[in-house]
Structures are given as structure tokens and as C-alpha cells.
């Protein structure tokens, strides 16, 4: 029988705070591919998979949380939503607000979000304000707006967002038949590492469902959570907030993560780690994914892969394990980085005359 993926709320309704009566706002998010990463597996001697979150409706993992946040906003009778963002949250909020028929305002750090993300928010009709400050300043203002003005906050400080994002872990377990040994991902505002850990924990024990009684455990174990931050924006590595975060990976250019405590708990309870990778390592991993695995991600999304490669080089990645890396956003969000070579020069597409011999010559082909 025909079956279409119904979005994360309907697929995992029994494990989310919704009821039959909930009016679900969805664009069909989730159900993203878990791609076997052949070259990373060869490199590490473990079986490595990529959870390709760029395949969500707005091109990032944020849609998993936004379907829940926007559903909650409608349920609360909100007329307008607000968020701070390094770009992906704003793109997602704008799209889901449109689907919900709500107004949307987004606050982004001036000059520090990619063109793709900026264009998404504008295309979906959000009111986009560029704040003369960084993401942390934007979030501070968005929180205050939510407290003192009639707008509903859809950042991941809203627990509905984390509820939606935990479904990423469910999908990994459903695809593999059990939890992986290690789960690797980039860390910025730290909502996603918190959400995955919540999902893995809930799937590994009996679960008290609001609608379906006690559900049995689905997995036999939980993974070690390995988070990676950009070196210039690595508050968890420093052990304190960073006032002037800086990295080319604008998605994770965050100095004062909102989900600090839950991320630290995810790291420590899981026996995991949160470490840093340099911008150069991020761009190398970005290039590795596109040129060796066939998966195009945005730079921030490559931080997890950069971390795994770095840990492997240091002899700190076990062999014979199952490792999942969430690659969080699509390469088309921020395509300029693909048009740069490893030495920093621009890639110039070759122009040729409009005839087959010239094209064959340029390709180095001899006639048959
Ligand atoms: N990867 C991408 C592509 C992101 O956009 C983000 C966060 C992260 C990773 C980090 O996830 O914040 O849950 O630790 N982007 C937010 C935004 C901050 O506004 O789009 P996190």
C-alpha cells in the first residue's frame, strides 16, 4: 500500500507531547537518509554512517524541532513567533510559520549568516532584522521579547523544540536496529546534542507514553555522545562562555549556548566528549564529504566529521564500532565554500567554445 512519511510528529506521536486532537503543523520533516560513509569507514575501521539532515524540507535538522514548536504556538493561540538564529532556525521558523498562518520575526547577527539562509527567511515572508551583535545577543533579545511582548519564542530554549529534535535519535535506532556505539555531531547552541541524548535515553528504557501506555525499550544501549565545536567558538572546551565567538562556520558561531547544562549532562552521562576543531579542519572535512562520500553539507555541519577525522589521527577512535555522524545542514545553504580550493584561491569554471571537438580536447579525450 502507498505510504508517505507523515512528518516526525505523526510518525512518533506516542513519544511526543501531543494528542489525537492536536493540530499538527508539518512540512513532512524527518525520515532523512542514513548514508553509509564508505571512505570514513575505510579510514577509521569502524562502520560510519551519516544522518543527512540537509534532506529536511528547509535543508536542516531544525525542521524536526520547528514542527513541534509551531504546533505548540498554534495550540497556545499565538499570532506571531520570534527566534534568534545563525540562519537555519530562521529559515525553518519562517517556513513553518507560513504553514501555520502565523507572523514570524527573526533576529540574525548582521553580516554573519549565509545567503541561502537569509533568502529562505525572506522568501517565506518573515520580518528579518539584522542585529548589530552576535547570535548570543540576538537570543537575549528574542527571549526578552517572548517574556514581555505578545510573541511566541521558537528557539530551542522552548522545550517543544528539543522534543521534536529527539526524533533524530529514534530514526537512527529504527534504521540500525539498535543504538550506535558513538554518535558524533556539531555543537553550537547545544540543543541538538541535548535532544539526541534525550532520544537515545528514552528509546533505551520503557517509556511512559501519554497516549499509548508503557512502551517497551527499543534499543539495548546508548551511544557515547561526541560533540565538536569550532575552535574560535568553543565555550564547552573553555569551560565558560566566550564573548567574541568567531569561525567561518557561521551556523555554530555561538559563545554562550542556551542548553549548557543538558549538553554537559549528555557528554558526561554518555561517557562522551565535547572538543574543538579548527576552521581549516572544518573546511577539510567539508571537502572530504563532498569529494569522497558524495554528500554536500554546509561548513558548520562538517564539524562532526572534522572531529572524527581528528580523533582518528590521534589514535582515539576505536575500530569495529558503529558510528553515526549527524550532518546538520545542506551544502546549498552556504555554497561559496565549495568554490574555493584548499589553498584558498577561487575555482574558475572553464569556458569552452560551442563545439564538440573543443569540449573533447578540454576533457583530454581522443576520438574513438
Ligand atoms: N549545524 C547547523 C547547520 C546549525 O545551523 C546549528 C545551529 C548547529 C549545527 C548546532 O546545533 O545549536 O543545536 O548545537 N544553528 C542554530 C540556528 C543556532 O540559529 O540555526 P545546536
pLDDT, tens digit, 9 for 90 and up, residues 83-101: 999 999 999 999 999 999 9
Quick check: 26 and 43 in contact, CB under 8 A?
no
Per-residue model confidence (pLDDT) at position 340: 85
> What is the per-residue pLDDT across 41-69, written as a single tens digit (0 to 9) for each?
999 999 999 999 999 999 999 999 999 99
Is 13 known to sit in a ligand binding site? Answer: no
Q: Which ligand 1 atom is the nearest neighbour of the CA of 89?
A: 20
**Number of other CB atoms surrounding residue 148 within 10 Å:** 8
The reply to whether ligand 1 has any atom less than 6 angstroms from the CB of 235 is no
The reply to whether ligand 1 has any atom less than 6 angstroms from the CB of 192 is yes
Substitution site in 66, 185, 252, 329 for ligand 1 pocket (most atoms within 8 Å of beta carbon): 252
Quick check: 310 and 279 in contact, CB under 8 A?
no
Per-residue model confidence (pLDDT) at position 344: 82
User: Of 282, 287, 350, 300, which is closest to residue 116 (Cα–Cα)?
Assistant: 300
Q: Note down pLDDT in tens along the chain; length 368 residues.
A: 788 999 999 999 999 999 999 999 999 999 999 999 999 999 999 999 999 999 999 999 999 999 999 999 999 999 999 999 999 999 999 999 999 999 999 999 999 999 999 999 999 999 999 999 999 999 999 999 999 999 999 999 999 999 999 999 999 999 999 999 999 999 999 999 999 999 999 999 999 999 999 999 999 999 999 999 999 999 999 999 999 999 999 999 999 999 999 999 999 999 999 999 999 999 999 999 999 999 999 999 999 999 999 999 999 999 999 999 999 999 999 999 999 887 888 998 899 999 999 999 999 999 99
Give the CA-trace dihedral at 358, 360, 361, 367, to 10 degrees. Answer: -120
DSSP letter (8 states) at residue 293:
I
- In DSSP terms, 229 is beta-bridged to 276
The reply to whether ligand 1 has any atom less than 6 angstroms from the CB of 234 is no
- Structural domains of the chain, with CATH: 8-60+159-338 (3.40.50.1100), 62-153 (3.40.50.1100)
Q: Which ligand 1 atom is the nearest neighbour of the CA of 155?
A: 19
Per-residue model confidence (pLDDT) at position 100: 98
> What is the per-residue pLDDT across 145-200, written as a single tens digit (0 to 9) for each?
999 999 999 999 999 999 999 999 999 999 999 999 999 999 999 999 999 999 99
**Strand 47-52 with 34-36, pairing:** antiparallel
Amino acid at each position: 500500500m502507498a505510504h508517505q512519511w507523515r512528518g516526525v510528529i505523526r510518525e512518533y506521536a506516542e513519544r511526543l507531547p501531543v494528542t489525537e486532537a492536536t493540530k499538527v503543523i508539518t512540512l513532512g520533516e524527518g525520515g532523512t537518509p542514513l548514508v553509509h560513509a564508505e571512505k570514513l569507514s575505510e579510514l577509521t575501521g569502524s562502520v560510519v554512517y551519516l544522518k543527512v539532515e540537509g534532506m529536511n524540507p528547509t535543508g536542516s535538522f531544525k525542521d524536526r524541532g520547528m514542527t513541534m514548536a509551531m504546533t505548540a504556538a498554534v495550540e497556545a493561540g499565538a499570532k506571531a513567533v520570534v527566534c534568534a538564529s545563525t540562519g537555519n532556525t530562521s529559515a525553518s521558523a519562517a517556513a513553518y510559520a507560513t504553514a501555520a498562518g502565523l507572523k514570524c520575526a527573526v533576529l540574525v547577527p548582521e553580516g554573519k549568516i549565509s545567503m541561502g539562509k537569509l533568502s529562505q527567511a525572506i522568501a517565506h515572508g518573515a520580518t528579518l532584522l539584522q542585529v548589530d551583535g552576535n547570535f548570543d545577543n540576538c537570543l537575549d533579545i528574542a527571549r526578552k521579547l517572548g517574556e514581555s511582548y505578545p510573541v511566541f519564542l521558537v528557539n530551542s530554549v522552548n522545550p517543544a523544540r528539543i522534543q521534536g529534535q529527539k526524533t533524530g535519535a529514534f530514526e537512527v535506532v529504527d534504521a540500525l536496529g539498535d543504538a550506535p556505539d558513538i554518535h558524533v555531531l556539531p555543537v553550537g547552541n547545544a540543543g541538538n546534542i541535548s535532544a539526541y541524548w534525550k532520544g537515545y535515553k528514552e528509546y533505551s528504557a520503557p517509556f511512559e507514553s501519554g497516549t499509548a501506555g508503557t512502551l517497551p525499550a527499543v534499543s539495548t544501549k546508548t551511544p557515547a555522545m561526541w560533540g565538536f565545536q569550532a575552535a574560535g567558538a568553543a565555550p564547552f572546551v573553555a569551560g565558560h562562555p566566550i564573548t567574541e565567538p568567531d569561525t567561518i562556520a557561521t551556523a555554530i558561531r555561538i559563545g554562550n549556548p542556551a542548553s549548557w547544562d543538558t549538553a554537559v549532562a549528555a557528554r558526561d552521562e554518555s561517557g562522551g566528549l565535547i572538543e574543538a576543531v579548527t576552521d581549516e579542519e572544518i573546511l577539510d572535512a567539508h571537502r572530504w564529504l563532498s569529494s569522497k562520500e558524495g554528500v554536500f553539507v554546509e561548513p558548520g555541519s562538517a564539524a562532526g566529521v572534522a572531529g572524527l577525522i581528528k580523533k582518528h589521527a590521534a589514535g582515539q577512535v576505536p575500530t569495529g564500532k558503529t558510528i553515526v555522524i549527524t550532518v546538520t545542514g545542506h551544502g546549498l545553504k552556504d555554497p561559496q565554500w565549495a568554490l574555493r580550493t584548499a589553498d584558498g584561491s577561487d575555482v574558475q569554471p572553464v569556458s569552452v567554445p560551442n563545439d564538440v571537438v573543443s569540449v573533447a580536447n578540454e576533457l583530454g579525450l581522443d576520438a574513438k
